[in-house]
Structure 1
């Protein structure tokens, strides 16, 4: 019988956790409202209030053991949210580089710009495709671009290590197809000259990137004439005239990609179909939002997997801490609980009351952990190798409300697991046995 009871508890626990993982914040709010109504309107709920009030009032007398639960869960939530904020910040930085009214065109099955190649003839036909926006002169707003890698000294490296930076050769339309990009210091480069502008994210990552400095790229000296910001993945790049970049790196007249300003977001369908149905072209077009979102998927999934794995390992320790604390708390209140049951209190109010106590401690721990993660890591600058690109990507960690809610859900789940078994033991222990143990 005891085995069946424990097996039933495990099944209940598994079912609750599965439902809890999928539950949005408003679902949890609805559950809390229903619980509050039950405690206000029903006799068993009133009994739960009485038992819970006594238990919660004694928390200050058990400050040390209560702190074990709070600190343990705060640590789990803080680490989890911080690691997930890294994934969120990385994905957000990539997504911000795209939009629904711009498109990027790559060679056929190319997964990224580096592996793509477009000829001058390809670019001419892309400019003539339907759906391409045009400027006041009637010219297609298309930036045909070349992407190459450059090794630069990493800022702050004690051993003088170098890292890979992405250099993008752009056309005059580059700032039009990327309206977020703007010069914040200096000026833009002059076409035909070996002048370069650098993103503020690249300035944070690499040494020597300042106005007036000279860089050696492709065995040629380049002068930094400006610093730009865009608030997205482009912040980590260096931009120069595409023709000069091609000459320096012996790329001929071809380009890696073409970024296109569309007439509107709905124009992507006609634009992409026109290119894919053109027998003279072997290219694929997608919105820049779709492209950059896809570029971030693998890295984001890896970072989330790391965060959840580390959080789960720490959560196991927090659960055992909660179990130990709550079993001790229940044992210290055995006479009180036995007396309540002897005068007519049922088992369910006792179970719910003990779990409310654990849940309260878990909630406090979750709020503390989430608050610390937000204060310390929200906006924290980091960099990593950009999946599918040739350079390091600078990004800011983003502690979003959704991540904070995810952390709170983990905290409450730990509290539920840590309180369930002690609560059931308190409610099912025979009154005479409880009085003897006390």
Structure 2
């Protein structure tokens, strides 16, 4: 019978935790409001309020044991939020790279730009499709772009350490298609010359990317003439004239992709259908928002899995710490709890009171951990790859309100589990036994 009772309690705990994980912030607020109303309007709630007040008033006498719960949970939340901030920052950077009124066109089966290829004839037909916006001269606003990699010395690395930067060959329309790209130092490259403008993120990651500097790309000397800011993934790139980039890397007159400005966000349907129904083309068009969202999915999942796994391992330790602390606290208050029950206090108010005490400590720990993570890591600069690897993307960690709420939920879940079993024991222990143990 005891086994079945314990199993039922464990199963109920698991179900409640699953519901808690899925609960939005307003659901938790509604739950807290219902609990407050119960404690204010009902006799059993008033009893729980009285026992809770007594327990909280004695926390100052148990600072050491209470600090174990607070510090343990603060550590869990701090590490969890910091790791998840990597995934959030990475996803935000890529999401900011697209817009609903621009589309990217690639070879049909291509998952990314590097694996795609378009001929010059493809680009011409893409520009003639319906829905493409045109400039004052009546020309389609389209940038046929080539993407290649260049090895550059990494900032702060050892002598000879290199990382792979993404070089993008673009047309003049690239700045119209991406109006958020602004030159903050120097000037725009001149078409027909081996000149580059480099993103602020690339400047932070690599040595020698200053205005006036010369570097080798495709065994040819190139001059950095400007630095740009965009607030998205493009900041990690180096841009030059597409014709010159193709020439340096022997790419002919084709491109990897074509990015176009649409008449409106609604134009994507007609534009995409026109390209897919064209028998001379084997391409696929998506909005740049959708494209970059898909590009971020895999890495975001990996980073979130790492964060949750590490957080779960630490959470187990925090739960055991809370259990030990609360069992000790309940044992120390056994006579008090037994006396309350002897004079008519029910078991439920005792359970709620003990759990509210643990939850309060968990909430304090969660706020401290989330606050520390926000102060240290929000806006912290990072990159996806280490030196010597390909596809280095600079981004800033983002501790969003959603992540802070997720950390608080974890803290309260740890407090719930850590306080539940001691609370149930305190409420179910026979009064005579509790008085003898005290």
TM-score of Structure 1 vs Structure 2, range by shorter chain: over 0.9
The alignment yields a C-alpha RMSD, in angstroms, of 0.9
Q: What residue is the counterpart of 2:39 in the other structure?
A: 39
The Cα shift of 1:158 comes to 2.4
Structure 1 residues 169-248: aligned runs within 5 Å: 169-248=169-248
Q: Report the Cα distance in structure 2 between the residues aligned to 1:289 and 1:158, rounded to whole angstroms.
A: 37
1:270 matched to 2:270? The reply is yes
Other structure's SS at 1:147 match: strand
Q: Report the Cα distance in structure 1 between the residues aligned to 2:59 and 2:132, rounded to whole angstroms.
A: 67
The Cα shift of 1:398 comes to 0.4
Structure 1 residues 282-301: aligned runs within 5 Å: 282-301=282-301
Q: Report the Cα distance in structure 2 between the residues aligned to 1:370 and 1:180, rounded to whole angstroms.
A: 32
1:87 matched to 2:87? The reply is yes
Q: Report the Cα distance in structure 2 between the residues aligned to 1:345 and 1:177, rounded to whole angstroms.
A: 71
Q: Report the Cα distance in structure 2 between the residues aligned to 1:300 and 1:425, rounded to whole angstroms.
A: 42
Q: Report the Cα distance in structure 2 between the residues aligned to 1:149 and 1:272, rounded to whole angstroms.
A: 29
Q: Report the Cα distance in structure 2 between the residues aligned to 1:113 and 1:390, rounded to whole angstroms.
A: 14
Q: What residue is the counterpart of 2:371 in the other structure?
A: 371
Q: What residue is the counterpart of 1:9 in the other structure?
A: 9
Q: What residue is the counterpart of 2:122 in the other structure?
A: 122
In structure 2, stretches of 5+ residues that fail to align are none
Q: Does structure 2 conserve the Cα–Cα contact (< 8 Å) formed by 1:74 and 1:370?
A: yes
1:408 matched to 2:408? The reply is yes
Q: What residue is the counterpart of 2:75 in the other structure?
A: 75
Q: What residue is the counterpart of 2:137 in the other structure?
A: 137
Q: Does structure 2 conserve the Cα–Cα contact (< 8 Å) formed by 1:148 and 1:390?
A: no
Q: Does structure 1 conserve the Cα–Cα contact (< 8 Å) formed by 2:196 and 2:238?
A: yes
Q: Report the Cα distance in structure 2 between the residues aligned to 1:285 and 1:8, rounded to whole angstroms.
A: 53
Q: Report the Cα distance in structure 2 between the residues aligned to 1:135 and 1:38, rounded to whole angstroms.
A: 66
Q: What residue is the counterpart of 1:97 in the other structure?
A: 97
The Cα shift of 1:105 comes to 0.2
Other structure's SS at 1:144 match: strand
Other structure's SS at 1:294 match: helix
Q: Does structure 2 conserve the Cα–Cα contact (< 8 Å) formed by 1:114 and 1:390?
A: no
Q: Deviation per CA, 1:158-190, whole angstroms, max 9, x where unpaired?
A: 243100000000001001111110000000100
In structure 1, stretches of 5+ residues that fail to align are none
Other structure's SS at 1:434 match: helix
1:361 matched to 2:361? The reply is yes
The Cα shift of 1:298 comes to 0.4
Q: Deviation per CA, 1:402-427, whole angstroms, max 9, x where unpaired?
A: 00000000000000000000000000
Q: Report the Cα distance in structure 2 between the residues aligned to 1:2 and 1:45, rounded to whole angstroms.
A: 28
Q: Does structure 1 conserve the Cα–Cα contact (< 8 Å) formed by 2:163 and 2:390?
A: no
Flag as ranges the 4+ runs of structure 1 deviating above 3 A: none
Q: Deviation per CA, 1:56-104, whole angstroms, max 9, x where unpaired?
A: 0000110000000000000000000000000000000011000111000
Other structure's SS at 1:392 match: coil
Q: Deviation per CA, 1:101-128, whole angstroms, max 9, x where unpaired?
A: 1000001100000010000000000000
Q: What residue is the counterpart of 2:425 in the other structure?
A: 425
The Cα shift of 1:242 comes to 0.2
Q: Report the Cα distance in structure 2 between the residues aligned to 1:124 and 1:254, rounded to whole angstroms.
A: 11
Q: Deviation per CA, 1:216-253, whole angstroms, max 9, x where unpaired?
A: 11000000000001000000000000000011111111
Q: Report the Cα distance in structure 2 between the residues aligned to 1:372 and 1:114, rounded to whole angstroms.
A: 40
Q: Does structure 1 conserve the Cα–Cα contact (< 8 Å) formed by 2:243 and 2:253?
A: yes
Q: Report the Cα distance in structure 2 between the residues aligned to 1:159 and 1:5, rounded to whole angstroms.
A: 65
**Which range moved further: 325-334 or 10-19?**
10-19
Q: Report the Cα distance in structure 2 between the residues aligned to 1:393 and 1:435, rounded to whole angstroms.
A: 65
The Cα shift of 1:391 comes to 2.0
The Cα shift of 1:5 comes to 1.4
Q: Report the Cα distance in structure 1 between the residues aligned to 2:268 and 2:33, rounded to whole angstroms.
A: 46
The TM-score normalised by the length of structure 1 is 0.99
The Cα shift of 1:53 comes to 0.4
Q: Report the Cα distance in structure 1 between the residues aligned to 2:159 and 2:317, rounded to whole angstroms.
A: 39
Q: Does structure 2 conserve the Cα–Cα contact (< 8 Å) formed by 1:73 and 1:366?
A: yes
Q: Report the Cα distance in structure 1 between the residues aligned to 2:83 and 2:116, rounded to whole angstroms.
A: 33
Other structure's SS at 2:16 match: helix
Q: Deviation per CA, 1:15-70, whole angstroms, max 9, x where unpaired?
A: 11011011000000000000000000000000000100000000011000000000
Q: What residue is the counterpart of 1:164 in the other structure?
A: 164
